[in-house]
Structure 1
Amino acid sequence: MVPTRFRRTTGRRTVRRTWSALVSALALGAVALAGAPAAHAGPQPVPWVYYVGDDGALWGFTQQTDGSWTTAAPQGPTGQTLPGGHVAATRIAGGLPSVFFVGVDGAVYQDCPLLTKPVAVTATRLAPPGAAITAEVVGGQITVTAARQIPQGKAVAAAPRTPPALAPAAAPHEISNPCSPPVNVRFNTSSTYAGGAMTSVGTSGGYHDVLFVDTAGAVRVQWQGPQGSTLSEKALTAPGTAKPGGGVTAVNTQGLGLPGSALTLFFTGHDGRVRVAHTTEQGSLTGSVQPNTTGTADAPDGAPLSAVAGAKGLAVGYAASDGAFSVAYLTPTGAWQKTFRTGAAGDFASGAPSAATAAADGDYDWYCGNGLRVPVHLHGPLPGPKWVDVGLPNVVVGASFAAV
């Protein structure tokens, strides 16, 4: 078993304890499991989910080994980052989850169940507070990519002062901590980056691919091979294909049987339809971009997307234009199968961010903040199940979710 933390509140005091302490408490008949994520064990890691609450603190919840879900609870102090700021999560095989965000001081922070609060893994003033960030495992090491700093002379919202411009190249910053080996931190320094969404995927060949929609509306990829390789970049689609800075997500599909492909990516078009494409590790399309025509054209232009690969194939979800939630399923080779809508119109803010994980039973789990500002969870396939509340109403509109 591994140490973790849980929340027991007496008045306003929150106490964090180790898993061994919890075992002792259970032996004495104590019941104190409501709150922060509990430890997990076994070959199938349970999902951990994170978001930044309206208090600027990192919040998290998880599924326990008995299948129940904990209530979302703070994982650190208030005001560490901007309310609803971007979060990214990943884990090294067999390891604990790690979650990352950019704090109000412009440093990249990491948190995991072994820490009592998130810790900085870079110097300060390197990125805008709450800015877009991604995390993935490449070659047994966590690689984090954050949005570049805004150039000198432009305002940085909610930042205490304008930080210096970033160096033109990626710059690893190795600080050891209990969560993982030193994290490799990079920055998106592309002159075409429009801000907004980014996604990253690591491959078995040691490649790290970062995808985003550039200032011209083309889906663009940056990729770098094993350590020491040259950083390369190119457009995957024509200009005007998507909204600059709009939603894009990708998953590693090397084990799903699509010849020649390593990644499957999703992005929204201007016509309300999500598109799928497949690429190699070196950022080349292996076929044509295919729109989803199995359901209603209800995806907001540039909407955030969440995608997952599981035993039954691929799935992508988003908060639809009318506030319902849509999930589209694809075959393991990435062909559109069917699209379901769940919930009623107005249940979610149009284009609200979400996160997804593959479940142990071969289905999928989805996480989002609903129209009542409550974090919610859904287990698929759809239709059928309903969203279940897993926390307090502290999710700001547009808050990022990360799950692993």
Structure 2
Amino acid sequence: MAVQTLRTTCVIAGGGPAGMVLGLLLARRGIRVTVIEKHRDFLRDFRGDTVHPSTLRLLDDLGLFARFDRLPQSHVRQLRLPTEAGPEVVVADLTRLPTPHPYIAMVPQWDLLDLLAEAASAEPTFTLLREHEVTGVLRGGGSVRGLTFRSPEGDGEVRADLTVAADGRWSTVRRALDLPLREFPVPFDVWWFRITTDQRLADVLLPRIRRGRIGIPIPRRGYVQVAWIARKGTDAALRAAGIDAFRADVAELLPDLAGDTASIATMDDVKHLDVRVDRLRRWHANGVVCIGDAAHAMSPAGGVGINLAVQDAVAAARLLAGPLRRGSLAGPRSGRLLARVQRRRRLPTAVMQSLQRLVHSRAIAPVIEGRNAAILPRAAGILLRIVPGLSVIPAFLVGIGPRPERAPRWARR
């Protein structure tokens, strides 16, 4: 079978939030852009479902917020933590943020991606190739020239002036480039599952702690999504104990949902996330740049990974749309132009990863190792009770983040 050859200006590996936002923005600038997505649809459970205030503001800029707001969703306005000094305290209060939408919207990621894909498909220069799996990169003249793929119709390639890796922490493009990577140790993993329930939880996140485990029930419509946090390397033991033992542990940790744990049918419903934190030392090479998790894998702490990935995409669109239109990224010296994306986004990435690692070592690790009975130290709890306004600082870091990005004027509707 002959190899199918396609031509575009920018090819993006990965149809996640970073890839779809970048594709939409570039298409609104009139740039030919092709997004390659491995799966037939976006229906995967327990991807990041948090849409932060900065992303909600972006949807406003793009003229998409009204459509987004009609999607089934719940809103989280506060993060509360139990303390050694007594009852829980408000650590992050998003209602204090000076932004049009001061909350985190909990929306199945497939709904958000469908919305972005529909908006992008209205642009004549946008193409989304589903069921196309990226297998490698094309090289020539000292530069990356596009991607190779596998599809139901056979093997093929997309030739492009610019290749963008937005295909996640296990990025095929990143592996093919063998870019230098810095990894950080993480002491825990996360198991995701849902409990079907008629109970209505408050619009807050309140972790529960018992016997070295942390459970975070996240309110959704018709069910509760639970993040189960325990020591890294214990997945095999957890599964070997079986579903009855797991349900009993969940009922003990989340007694208000104990009557609904039968909705966890089997251990197959409990999805294991191998938590990693890393970032590339160099995000680019001639003709190619990495963004989102392909450039910097984030911990689930704070749910900020999607926020950073989307802001990477906005910055990349603003910095690279002009050079793409001028044809400046097709040559062997394009790396110096692509380096602008890393220079713009390196600091916020490093700041957020440093904060995540601080939370890991000072809050999560002592609990799952049995050294502390509460996530928040006594002194911090007392301070937040005395000065509740301090809760706006973590709310800003989680909800908006350092160096927030706004949509370019040419992409706004």
TM-score by length of 2: 0.26
Return the structure number with greater relative CO, CA threshold 8 A, min gap 6. Answer: 2
TM-score by length of 1: 0.26
Which has more helix, going by share of residues? 2
